A and B are shown apart, each in its own frame.
Chain A
Amino acid sequence: MLANEPLNQRCEFRPDVVATVIDDGAVLLDLETKYFYRLNRTGWAIAQLFESGATPQDVHAYCRAAGATASDQASVSALIDTLLRDNLIEVSDGPPQTSPSEQAVAIDWSPPTIEKQAEPLQRVIISAFDPSVPLVE
């Protein structure tokens, strides 16, 4: 586990983060930074736990139950670390909306991956129809 994981603190997605499920996982888009991320199926199954306010400890327990080995826990920690470092999830003070175990989905275990796109989408664009970089006029 990474040193900066808030192990016992509940974390939730920031309201500005939009998740879309695709065939082989999910896409996350941060509407504030305009960065987007691709998660594989396991990565998405883990990230979904934060929709109900799971703790990193909950996540590690879920992964062990799903078949993660001790060496797999490093990739789980790396995923949580990316979600926290990029502020896709944040520590929550409120009560959980549902139990993390209710949110958990059954998966065929494979190490989770998260891939951040190198460049964010444009923050300022030409027009409501053209997302290109505005030219100097």
Chain B
Amino acid sequence: MIRDQVIAKDFCCGPLQLTLRAQDADLYDKIAETLELYDLTWPAPRREVKILARRSQTAEPAAKGDFLRCSRMLVDRSSDGLSASTTSGARAHARFEGARESWHITVPQSLVDQNKLEEIEDVLSLVLTTGWRREGWTPIHAAAVVKNGACVVICAPTGGGKTTLTAALVRRGWQVLGDDKILLRMSEGQPIIAALLHTFNLHPQTRRWFPEVGDLEQLPRYSVWTEKRKVSISSIWSHAPAQTAKPTVLIALRRNDEVTHAVIAPLREEDVLETLLRQTVIPADRATARDIVSTVARAAGRLRGLNVEVPTDAYRDPQFLVALESAIESSS
């Protein structure tokens, strides 16, 4: 029998104030490790979210995915909130009562023993994105940098080079709001972007172009699925972190080793919207989807777009970044 030894702590994750209560230290550590990544303290007031995490004693039925279908997690709507299940048997139930929300997470012993942090991260990404949306923010899977009033949202799929281009611009004096996770909302008709974390997920090969990142292979891998390492932005580029900005330009970034030099071209207005929508998780729930699409569509209407195709070694060519900054300036 597992002894009930509740450990509790508060975490600030952007506009959320999370209170985590876990049944034991092992489970607490696994969850805290993810929540501590979102280390930016936003000004109060913050939405309160309670998480109670326990080891699961019995198997519960799996979700069907009528709200969201992820590779390792399915999410359903329930009568008073959401219900999720992961491949290895973690479960999460959210209950929304007005502005308050509470999550009850159960984790099988085997998942903790095997150190399958990815599934715990999946559940926590649902907790966080749900809270951020309920607070009026739309999570966007994109990078964002800002300099001299120009704020660029960099869009690419996972592994598409968002972090590398972000780092390349940071070296030229740009500040960064995030390399793959940012929040978006409309305020008085204008889009606003806010930062969630000030770490980069950098691939060790980044050192080929940016030697100041050091030998990243000395650091532990971010997860078993990637070579990337998590590093504090300010530990490498102390000027770099930024908190909020008004986006002006969107870059649709694509790796293309069939071109010898980077290609920069204007992006059609309708492609700006499509690019931003493709970086946004849209659950199959009418009210939630309507809010998200509305925010993204109105924000996209305020952005000028650039299509950027880069071969792997584009960052060896200083003229590429000069040309890109010139195109950004013309578009802002």
Residues of A at the B interface (CB closer than 8 Å) are 15-16, 18-20, 22-23, 27, 29, 31-32, 36, 38, 115, 117, 121-135, 137
Output the residue of A122, A123, A125 with the most chain B CB within 10 A: A125
Complex: A38 Cα to B280 Cα, angstroms = 17
| Residues from chain A with Cβ under 8 Å of B121 in the complex | 127
Complex: A124 Cα to B71 Cα, angstroms = 6
Interface residues of B in 287-322 (CB under 8 A from A): 289-290, 293-294, 297-298, 301
Inter-chain contact B73/A127, CB cutoff 8 Å: yes
Complex: A121 Cα to B293 Cα, angstroms = 12
Shortest CB distance B85–A (Å): 13
Complex: A36 Cα to B297 Cα, angstroms = 12
| Residues from chain A with Cβ under 8 Å of B68 in the complex | 125, 128
19 contacts between A and B (CB under 8 A): A16-B286, A22-B297, A22-B298, A23-B301, A36-B274, A36-B293, A121-B277, A121-B282, A125-B68, A125-B70, A125-B71, A127-B121, A127-B122, A128-B70, A129-B128, A129-B139, A130-B180, A131-B282, A132-B158
Complex: A16 Cα to B273 Cα, angstroms = 20
| Other-chain residue from B181, B225, B277, B289 in contact with A31 (beta carbon distance below 8 A) | B289
Output the residue of B68, B70, B129 with the most chain A CB within 10 A: B70
B157 within 8 A of A: yes
B270 within 8 A of A: yes
Complex: A137 Cα to B116 Cα, angstroms = 13
Q: Which interface class (under 10, 10 to 19, 20 to 34, 35 or more) fits B?
A: 35 or more
B260 within 8 A of A: no
| Residues from chain B with Cβ under 8 Å of A131 in the complex | 141, 278-282
> Do most interface residues of chain A lie in helix, strand or loop, or is the interface mixed?
loop
Inter-chain contact B286/A129, CB cutoff 8 Å: no
The interface bits of chain B over 56-90 (1 if a CB of A lies within 8 angstroms of the residue's CB, else 0) are 00000000000011111101000000000000000
Q: How many A-B residue pairs have CB under 8 A?
A: 99
With A31-B285, A128-B70, A132-B158 already in contact, 13 other A-B pairs whose C-beta atoms are closer than 8 Å:
A20-B290, A32-B284, A121-B277, A121-B278, A121-B282, A123-B69, A125-B70, A127-B122, A128-B125, A128-B126, A128-B130, A131-B281, A132-B157
Inter-chain contact A125/B270, CB cutoff 8 Å: no
> Do most interface residues of chain B lie in helix, strand or loop, or is the interface mixed?
mixed
Give the nearest-CB partner of A28 in chain B.
B293
Inter-chain contact B270/A115, CB cutoff 8 Å: yes
Give the nearest-CB partner of A126 in chain B.
B71
Complex: A131 Cα to B284 Cα, angstroms = 13
Inter-chain contact B286/A130, CB cutoff 8 Å: no
In the complex with contacts A128-B126, A132-B141, A27-B278 CB distance below 8 A: no
Shortest CB distance B221–A (Å): 15
The interface bits of chain B over 119-148 (1 if a CB of A lies within 8 angstroms of the residue's CB, else 0) are 001100110111000000001010000000
| Other-chain residue from B70, B126, B130, B301 in contact with A126 (beta carbon distance below 8 A) | B70
Inter-chain contact B289/A130, CB cutoff 8 Å: no
Inter-chain contact A130/B290, CB cutoff 8 Å: no
In the complex with contacts A124-B70, A125-B71, A20-B297 CB distance below 8 A: yes
